[in-house]
Chain A
Amino acid sequence: MADATDADILLMSGITKSFPGVTALRDVTFAVRRGEIHAICGENGAGKSTLMKILSGVHPHGSYSGEVVFEGEECRFAGIRDSEARGVVIIHQELALVGQLSIAENLFLGNEMAHRGLIDWNRTNHEAEKHLRRVGLRENPTVAAGELGVGKQQLVEIAKALSKEVKLLILDEPTAALNDDDSAHLLDLLRGLRDDGITCVVISHKLGEVTAIADTITILRDGQSIETLDASDVTEERIIAGMVGRDLEHRFPPRTPHVGEEALRIEDWTVHSPTNPGRVVVDHATLSLRRGEVVGLAGLMGAGRTELAMSVFGRSYGVDISGRVYKDGREIDVRTVRSAIRNGIAYVSEDRKRYGLNLVADVKQNVSAAGLGLLSRRNWVNEHEEFRVAERFRDALRIKTPSVAAGARTLSGGNQQKVVLAKWMFTEPDVLILDEPTRGVDVGAKYEIYTIVNSLAEQGKAVLVISSELPELLGLCDRIYTLSAGRITGEVPREEATQERLMEYMTQEVRR
C-alpha cells in the first residue's frame, strides 16, 4: 500500500500481533509522513492501542511479527526506553504521572538531572520551567502533579515528552477526559508542535476533532488497516463508513423474540465519580428492559456503560447515586449487591479475572459462589449437590474442563466466561446484565455465548448486553440504547439499527 519514501518518518508494515486466543492485529500497514498530524480511527477493539504499543515498545520486538522502520532504520524496541531513546514517545489515555511528586520530578522521572548520583534540583526546576513554558502551562514546577486538573496534567505529560527530545509523539485519546476549553488548548498546542517539526499520531474517538486537526487519517477495523485518507476533504460520515464497513456475516444464531411485560426499569439514574466527586458519570439515564428481550447498550470507551451497570448492581460503583429502579412495576432496593441479587438481578462483569472469578478456587466453587444459599441448609453447604450443579452447567454450557474440580485458572478465556455465566444463571435471575460478554473470547466460543444469551431470553429473562462491538449488538439485540458522556442519546429498535446510526448517537457530544 505505502512505500517508504523520504517523506515518511515511520513505516510499519506487515504487523501481526496475537494475544492468547485473539489476533489483535493482522498484517497492518501504517505510514506516517514527517511533520504531519496523523489520526488513527477505529472502533473499540479495532487494534489502535495495540498498534501504538508496538510502536512504542510496550509490546517488545519478538512479541509480534512485521517490521517497524523509523527514520529509515529498522527498529527492534525491547521496551519503552529504547523507543524513547529514538524519539518516539507515547502518552497513554490513563496519565502516568505520580501524583505525590512535583511537576519537575515527574518531568524527569527516570531521566533525572543528576551529577554523580545526586540530583541537581536547581537545574531540574529550571529546565522544567522551560518545558512548561513551551506547552503554555504557568505553574510552579515544585507543585505536586496530583494537585493539577486533568487538562494541566495532560500538558505536563506533553512537556515530559518534549523534555525527551521527541520526534514522534503518540497521544492515545488525549481529550477523552478534558472539557471543551482544555481540549481546544490542547489541539492548538498540537498544531504548534507540528509547526516546530514534531510529528504527531493521535488516537481519538471524537471525529469532530479528528477532521479539525488531522492531516491524514488511517482507519483500522478488526485488527486490519482498511484505508488511509487525506483529511482535507473528508467528512465524519466518510470516516464512520470506513470504521464500521463490514458485512454482518451469519455469526449469530437465529432467534425469534417473544417479548413480554416490562421486567426492569431504571429511571433518572445519576452517578458521580468516586475519585472525582464533581464529575457526573451517568447523567439522568432512563431505560427499560422487558421479559424475553435482549437489549443492547452501546457507547464508546468512557461513556459510562459499565458505571451505569455496576451502580445499579448494588452500588458497586460511584457516589451520590440518585434515581429509581423498578422491577415488574414495583420499586426495588438495589443498595447492596445482596439486595440486587435477591431482586433477581445478575451482573456479569467486563473483567472476569478481576471481578468475576476466584482464580485460586476450582470451577465448582466459582459456579456456586453467588448462589451458595441455594445449596445449603442451615449454613452447611451440600458439596455433592454443588458438584452436581456444576456438572449440570458444565454440560449445558459446554464448559471445556477435565473436571469441575479443576482450578478456574486452567480454563481458556471463553470457558472462564462460561463459568461466570453459570455462576449467575445458577442464582436464577430475571434480569441479566452482561458487560462485554465476549471480550477476549475466540470466535467459536463467541457463538456459544450468543446461543446462551438467546436461550436466556427464550426462558423469559430480560438481558442487557453491553458491548463495544456494534455488530455484536446488531446481531443479538432487539433494541439498542446508545450512551454518550453518561447520557442516553438514543434508543433504536432492531429494524432501524445500523452501525452508522448508532455511531452517530454514540459520538454525539453532550455539552455540559
Chain B
Amino acid sequence: MSADVSTPPVTQPVAPGPPRRFRLNLRQSGIYVAFALIVVLFTVLTDGALLQPGNISNIVVQNSYVLILAIGMILVIISGHIDLSVGSVVAVTGAICAVLTVQWGLPWWLAVLATLGAGALIGAAQGYWIAYFGIPAFIVTLGGMLVFRALTLTVLGNQGIGPFPDEIRTLANGFTGGYLGNVGLGPLGGADLLSLLMGILVVAGFAFVQWRTRRARLGYGQTVDPFPLFAVKILVAAAVVLFVVVQLARFRNLPWVLVLLAVLVLAYSLMASRSVFGRHIYAVGGNLQAATLSGVRVKPVTFWVFVNMGVLAALAGVIFAGRLNQAGPTAGNAFELDAIAAAFIGGAAVQGGVGKVIGAITGGLIMGVINNGMSLIGAPSERVMLVKGLVLLAAVAYDVWTKRRAGAAR
C-alpha cells in the first residue's frame, strides 16, 4: 500500500481516485478473483459438469474435513507456528470415536464429545511442549505425526473398525431433511424449501450485518467503500451463496457438514478479527517480542491455539471416519499438507501475523475445485498433484511479489 495519498479530512469520507482504489482491492481480493477464474476454467473444461447440483454437493462433502482443518491451521500459522500432526490426529481421533461407539457402545453424542476432548488433550500435549517448553512446533508436531499414527495403529490393532452409528454418518455424509416440502422453481424443477429459506436467511443476515457495520463506520467518521462498490460486493456474495444453495436444494438439500462449516467459519472469523484472544494471535505471530512487551501472555495464546487445532482435528477425524463408515489405519494421510497449503494459498504469511479464516477456506476450496475438476476431465492423479503443487507455489510467489512491490513503492 503506497503512502502517496494525503490524509483525507475526517468529515469528508470521499474515496480517493478510482484507479488506485481498484488496484488496492485487486491486491486484497486476488485470492477470490483467482478462485473465480479457476471455477470458470473448470466449468468450461467440464462443459458445466462442475456446477451441477450433485457435483457441488460432492465438492463440499469431499473437502469438508480439509476445510475444518484449514480453519485450525490458519490460526496456527497466524500465530507463527505450523502443525504437521493433524493428519495423524485425524486418524487417531477417528479410531477413538470408532472404539467408543462400535466397541464400547456409547451413545453417539457422548462418543463425539469424548473424541473432541481427546483432540483437546492431544492439542494440549503438543501445545505444552511448544508454548511452555519452547521446542519449535515443526519438531513437536513432526514427532506428533509419528506418535499419533502409531497410536492409531495400536488402537485399531491394524484393522478398520466400523460401521458407525447412523447419526455420525448423517453428520458426515447426510443431508438436511425436507421438513417443509418442496417448491417448484420453474425450469429448474423442484427444490427443498427449507434449504432455500436458510440460504435466503444467510444472505439477508450477511447483508444486514454489512450494512450495519457500514452505518456504524460512517457514524464514527471513517471512510468506507463508495455505495455502488459496497452494493456490488454484497450482490456478488449473495448471488454466489444463492446459486450454491439453489443447486443443493435441487439435489438432496443441504449437507449437514455444510451447515457445520458455515457455523464454524462464522464463529472463527468473528473470533479471529473481533475477540481479544484473536487479536492476540495476530500480535504474537506479527512480532513476538513486541507482543510480550505489550503485556500479551504469549505462552497461553500459543497453547490454546494448539488445543483448538486438536479439537478441530478431532472433529475432522469424526467426520472423515463417519463418511467412510470406518476408522482405518491410513486415515488422514497427508491431510496436514492440504490444510497447510490451503492456509498459504489463502494468503497466510510464512512469518506469521497475517491471514484470514475466510482466506484459508477459499484456499481449501481452490484445491478442492482443482481436485474435483481435474478428476471430472479424467486427468490422472499425478497430474492433479503436479497442478496443486504449482498452484501453491504460484500463490505464495504472488504474495511475496506484491509485498515486495509495495515495499519498493515506498
The answer to whether B294 touches A369 (Cβ under 8 A) is yes
| Known contacts A360-B286, A379-B276: A401-B222 contact under CB 8 Å | no
Q: Which residues of B154-191 are within 8 A (CB) of A?
A: none
Interface size band for A: 35 or more
Residue A231 interfacial (CB < 8 Å):
no
Q: Flag B285-305 by CB within 8 Å of A: 1 or 0 each.
A: 011011111111100000000
B283 at the interface (CB under 8 A from A): yes
* Binding site secondary structure of chain A: mixed
Q: How many A-B residue pairs lie within 8 Å, measured between CB atoms?
A: 109
- Are A357 and B290 within 8 A (Cβ)? yes
Whole-angstrom CA separation of A65 from B349 in the bound complex: 38
A361 touches B216 (CB 8 A): no
Bound together, the chains give a CA A316 to CA B296 distance in angstroms of 13
Closest Cβ of chain A: how far from B266's Cβ, in Å?
14
Contact present for B283 and A369 (CB under 8 Å):
yes
Query: Quick one: given A361-B283, A384-B217, are A316 and B292 in contact (CB under 8 Å)?
Result: yes
Q: Contact at A338–B297, with CB atoms within 8 Å? A: yes
What are the residues of chain A within 8 A of B283 when measuring CB–CB? 358, 361, 365, 369
Which B1-21 residues sit within 8 Å CB-CB of chain A? 1-8, 10
The interface on chain B, measured as residues whose beta carbon lies within 8 A of the other chain's beta carbons, has a size of: 43
- Is A373 positioned at the interface, with any CB of B under 8 Å from its CB? yes
Cross-interface CB contact of B353 among A313, A358, A423, cutoff 8 Å: A358
| A361→B275 contact, CB < 8 A | no
Interface pair A403/B223, CB less than 8 Å apart: yes
The listed residue (B275, B280, B410) touching A410 by CB distance below 8 A is B410
Decide if B274 touches A383 in the complex (CB within 8 Å): yes
Chain A residues with CB under 8 A of B216:
384
Listed stretches A250-258, A347-355, A504-512; interface member: A347-355
A406 at the interface (CB under 8 A from B): yes
B23 on the interface (CB 8 Å rule)? no
CB pair B276–A365 under 8 Å, yes or no, is no
Nearest residue in A to B3 (C-beta to C-beta)?
Answer: A410
By a CB distance below 8 angstroms, the chain B residues around A391 are 10, 221
- B 246-290 binary contact with A (CB < 8 Å = 1; else 0): 000000000000000000000000000111110110110011011
Query: Given A337, A355, A365, A384, which contacts B282 in the complex, CB threshold below 8 Å?
Result: A365
B133: Cβ under 8 A from any A Cβ = no
- Across the interface, which residues of A come within 8 angstroms of B294, CB to CB? 337, 369-370, 423
Q: Does A341 contact B (CB under 8 A)?
A: yes
Q: What CA separation (Å) do A340 and B292 show in the bound complex? A: 12
The smallest beta-carbon distance between A271 and chain B, in angstroms, is 17
B22 at the A interface (CB under 8 A): no
Q: A337-B292, A338-B297, A381-B275 are in contact. Are A388 and B220 (CB under 8 A)?
A: yes
User: Is B354 on the interface with A (CB-CB < 8 A)?
Assistant: yes
In the complex where A380-B274, A406-B3 touch, is A316 in contact with B290 (Cβ < 8 A)?
Answer: no
CB closest chain-B residue, reference A402: B5
Please tell me if the beta carbons of B289 and A354 are within 8 angstroms of each other in the complex.
yes
* Smallest CB separation, A365 vs chain B (Å): 7
State whether the Cβ of A447 lies closer than 8 Å to any Cβ in chain B. Answer: no
Q: Which residues of B contact A409 (CB under 8 A)?
A: 407
B-facing residues in A296-323 (Cβ within 8 Å): 313-314, 316
Contact assessment for B1 and A407 in the assembled complex, using a CB-CB cutoff below 8 Å: yes
The answer to whether A381 and B217 touch (CB under 8 A), given A337-B293, A354-B289, A359-B286, is no
Instruction: Tell me if A358 and B3 are in contact (CB < 8 A).
Output: no
Given known A-B contacts A337-B292, A337-B293, A347-B293, A387 and B222 have beta carbons under 8 A apart: yes
Residues of chain B within 8 A (CB-CB) of A360 are 286-287, 349, 351, 353-354
| Chain B residues positioned under 8 Å from A356 (CB to CB) | 290, 293
User: Measured between alpha carbons, how far is A337 from B297 in the docked complex, in Å?
Assistant: 9
Interface residues of A (CB under 8 A from B): 313-314, 316, 337-338, 340-341, 347, 349, 354-361, 365, 368-370, 372-373, 376, 379-381, 383-384, 387-388, 391, 400-403, 406-407, 409-411, 423
- Can you identify 11 A-B contacts, CB atoms within 8 angstroms? A313-B293, A337-B294, A349-B293, A360-B351, A369-B291, A376-B275, A384-B217, A387-B220, A387-B222, A391-B10, A401-B7
Instruction: Known A-B contacts: A365-B282, A383-B273, A406-B1. Give 13 more (CB < 8 A).
Output: A337-B293, A337-B294, A337-B295, A347-B293, A355-B290, A359-B287, A360-B286, A360-B354, A361-B282, A381-B279, A401-B7, A402-B4, A407-B1
Q: Which residues of B contact A (CB under 8 A)?
A: 1-8, 10, 216-217, 219-223, 273-277, 279-280, 282-283, 286-287, 289-297, 349, 351, 353-354, 406-407, 410
Top 8 A-B pairs, shortest CB-CB distance: A358-B286, A370-B294, A360-B353, A358-B287, A338-B295, A369-B294, A379-B276, A337-B295
